[in-house]
Amino acid sequence: MTNASYPNTRMRRTRASSWSRAMYRETVLTPADLIWPLFVTDGKGVEEPVASLPGVSRWSVDGIAKHAKQAFDLGIPCVALFPNTQPNKRSDDGAEAFNPDNLMCRAIKAIRDACGSDIGILTDVALDPYTSHGQDGLLDDSGYVLNDDTVAVLVDQAVNQANAGADIIAPSDMMDGRVRAIRMALEMNQHPNVQIMAYAAKYASAFYGPFRDAVGSGGLLKGDKKSYQMDPANGDEAMREIAMDIAEGADSVMVKPGLAYLDIIWRAKQEFHVPVFAYQVSGEYALIEAGAAAGVGDRDALLMEKLLAFKRAGCSGVLTYHAPRAAQLLNG
């Protein structure tokens, strides 16, 4: 730091006009920094608003394709898919996850038909949208989530999605060793260019409630996920998780949730110098919507300030349900 003193240095000098503020701006947000999460449901021509996520709906496969085209038109480079699997297709072992005609695979193919290779498709790998108990993996008799048995199933799920045309596999399950297993399986199944964005630091957070409503697992969940998702009190542990996922073959890493963990994003970027993404999760989105509705502040200003904070902390991009509105604002 320089030994600046007043009046030689006036910090307000470069803030005096809009052109100057733009020229000195340290952090820039563009539509290319956004990933839009989309929820898929059964049927045709279906839109089901998610009550706990104002402005967000589940769409049938045909609607998903239209929204992917909208994303491309807005300059958003990638969409993330999450299925709302019907109860009669859920099971204790989550076998629907590796059905080549499941909702996820049909949505991938519909987007490919509509958009070709113009937009990236990120797919979630975990069993909670497919299990009857709402946990991310297979259970033993005591209800404990089995690590290695779950990893074997996740590999089949990941290859199934890659075969359907996914560009980025995003394991969100937090099982140990799953990144290496998935990377090896992708290589062995002729998918060397399919990326892995690992949910490397996924915390056992209170901010996930609306998401679980959207995918239909909230009312099914038995117990909690604290035996595999991280303790919100831990930062050093997150660095160990991130280091392991990078070593196992992750192309990028994700921190989830986002805003309450900006310190983790900053540390990860400073320590590992790899692409770091944040998931602005459903509870964070809902709080912005509720705050704006209550008159706390202007909705657009609130959402843009928070997205900019992710970039300033070191994010290469952000998964956010506000992606289309943010892109509209950024495009002018």
What is the pTM assigned to this prediction? 0.96
Q: Could you please report the per-residue DSSP string of 312-325? A: HHT-SEEEETTHHH
Mean pLDDT, residues 306-316: 98
Average pLDDT, the chain: 96
Q: How far is CA 244 from CA 126, 199, 240, 327, in A?
A: 19, 12, 6, 34
Query: Residues 83-142: pLDDT tens digits?
Result: 999 999 999 999 999 999 999 999 999 999 999 999 999 999 999 999 999 999 999 999
Residues whose CB is less than 8 angstroms from the CB of residue 274 and which lie 6 or more positions away in sequence, other chains included: 246, 250, 252, 253, 268
Query: Residues 265-308: pLDDT tens digits?
Result: 999 999 999 999 999 999 999 999 999 999 999 999 999 999 99
| DSSP β-ladder status, 57-59 and 47-49 | antiparallel
The pLDDT value given to residue 223: 85
CA distance 330 to 32: 10
CA distance 67 to 280: 19
CA distance 118 to 54: 29
User: Do the beta carbons of residue 68 and residue 323 sit within 8 Å?
Assistant: no
Q: At what angle do helices 236-248 and 178-188 cross, to 10 degrees?
A: 20
CB-count exposure of residue 83 (10 Å: 0-12, 13-18, 19+): buried
Percent of the chain with pLDDT over 90: 95
Which residues are identified as catalytic?
Answer: 202, 256
